[in-house]
Amino acid sequence: MFPERLAKGYRSFIDGRFASERARYQELAGLGQKPSIMVMGCVDSRVSPEVIFDAAPGEILVARNVANLVPRYEPGGGQHGASAALEFAVRALRVEHIIVLGHALCGGIRAFAMETAPLSESDFIGKWMSQIAPAAEAIGPMGAEGEEAYLRKLEFASVELSLQNLMTFPFVRAAVEKGELKLHGAYFGVASGKLLVRDEVTGAFEPVEG
């Protein structure tokens, strides 16, 4: 049976937001989508980009995976969900901004750092999270700062790594170099609600004034 919570939410949506924004939905249906912003986010249910940025329908393109990772460009075998989403955003929709949105209390980051036992024999999470090994190497081993401070550093470092990986995609690099695309790093505090944005010059994550 379909979850009643979702059915109830849908009824509220139809009577509320859809009714008030019907014209916008009809325009999007007729003309297609043309978002100027793409967000690479995490599957964490507490970190919804559309909610955080109070986005209207059709305003931002969102791709989500475990720990908001962007893999390096790799055209060879296998399935490439994140890469396909990037290709669609940059080549088809020609977005002007890509934001890698990291967040506090990321389970994927913790699983990697704490070497958590696999949830299954296939260990899809472990294999996926192995991509952040360069970020972990960059910040070094956990020191006197303690576990939580170390995890926060690794969360920031993984956003930095994903920004570097974006530039390994030829079509992303070409768009950036032409001035047609800008890349951004951001970080959301789940408990505080604070948004930090990476300074392009210093690399520091600075708060957005509320």
Q: Copy the structure tokens of residue 179.
A: 């001035």
pLDDT > 70 fraction of the chain, expressed in percent and rounded = 100
Structure confidence by residue, pLDDT tens digits, 47-63 = 999 999 999 999 999 99
What domains appear along the chain, each with residue ranges and CATH number?
Answer: 1-31 (no CATH), 33-207 (3.40.1050.10)
Determine how many CB atoms are found less than 10 A away from the CB of residue 60: 19
> Cβ(97)–Cβ(172) under 8 Å?
no
Q: Which of 192, 209, 181 is nearest to 86 (CA)?
A: 181
Enumerate helices (H) and strands (E) in the chain, giving the number of each: 10, 6
The pLDDT score that the predictor gives to residue 144 is 82
Q: Which position has the token pair 């109070």?
A: 54
For residue range 65-82, what is the model confidence (pLDDT) as tens digits? 999 999 999 998 787 999
Provide the β-strand partners of residue 196: 187, 207
Q: How far apart are CA 210 and CA 207, in angstroms?
A: 9
210 pLDDT band, cuts 50/70/90, is low
Q: If you average pLDDT over every residue of the chain, what do you get?
A: 96
Strands in the chain per DSSP E: 37-42, 60-65, 97-103, 182-188, 195-198, 205-207
Q: Is the pLDDT of residue 45 over 80?
A: yes
Please tell me the predicted confidence (pLDDT) of residue 76. 85
Q: What is the pLDDT of residue 78?
A: 80
pTM attached to this predicted model: 0.95
Indicate the residue type of 34. K
CB neighbourhood size of 140 (10 A): 9
Higher pLDDT, 210 or 195: 195
* AA identity, residue 50: E
- Please report, as a single letter, which amino acid is at residue 51: V
Quick: pLDDT tens for 157-189. Answer: 999 999 999 999 999 999 999 999 999 999 999
Note the pLDDT tens digit of each residue in 186-198: 999 999 999 999 9
Q: Are 47 and 190 in contact (CB under 8 A)?
A: yes
Exposure on the CB side of residue 161, measured as CA atoms within 13 A: 25
pLDDT exceeds 90 at position 7: yes
Given pLDDT bands bounded at 50, 70 and 90, which one contains residue 209? confident
pLDDT of residue 89: 98
